[in-house]
Amino acid sequence: TEDTKNITDIQEFADTYMCENIGASSEWFAFALSDTECDFSKYISSLNHYISENPPSSVSALKYALVYRALGVDNEYTSKTAQELTDDGGVMYIVFALHLLNNRLESQSVTKEAIVQKLIGMQNDDGGWSVIKGNSDVDATAMALQALACYKNEYTKEIKKAVEFLSNVQTDAGAFKSYGVENAESTAQVIIALSDLGIDCKNDERFI
């Protein structure tokens, strides 16, 4: 893109673009690049400053805690965010909360089992999940499945139903839509979810 065309490597990307776009797109890049040998110290310092100056919403607070966890940072913010988790939130809050608890963090106020049950209880009749009440959404469904992948042997019926929903809404081109618009992000979320569940979408007849 215009603002990244002169960046030559991942380290420069982390030290410039990611530091300048915290709260917008940087967190998703942090997740994606966390397994690289990149030095994220400058980004982490920028994230610390951003959070101190911009108190996050409940969902964003969990997202930032997950970023710290992905980058190997164990700080007071992360542990405090996990300790204060509840099962009273929307679907994305519950998804992020479950990811935190799946990554060996603990809450003083809610159990992992309670969060799993809350997420299962949010599943719509068609097998999907939605951010707002109404029709199920591909992104919300795929992200819910990613969080539930650890429990695929316990909630086989619910997960099978969600996978069937994703299969049914796949476009003729093999892609996926979110809010009526076909896009690569939604398709990628589905691929991640299926991969987490051990489903090879290149060979599974539901997704070829």
Q: Tens place of pLDDT for every residue, the chain, 208 residues?
A: 777 888 999 999 999 999 999 999 999 999 999 999 999 999 999 999 999 999 999 999 999 999 999 999 999 999 999 999 999 999 999 999 999 999 989 999 999 999 999 999 999 999 999 998 778 999 999 999 999 999 999 999 999 999 999 999 999 999 999 989 999 999 999 999 999 999 999 999 999 8
Query: Which amino acid appears at position 188 of this protein?
Result: A
Q: List the end-to-end C-alpha distance of the chain, in Å, as a whole number.
A: 31
Q: What is the dihedral of CA 176, 89, 80, 84, to 10 degrees?
A: -150
Residue 179: strand, helix, or coil = coil
Q: Is 181 helix (H, G, I), strand (E, B) or coil?
A: strand
Burial class of residue 21 in the structure, from the number of CB atoms within 10 Å of its CB (0-12 exposed, 13-18 middle, 19+ buried): middle
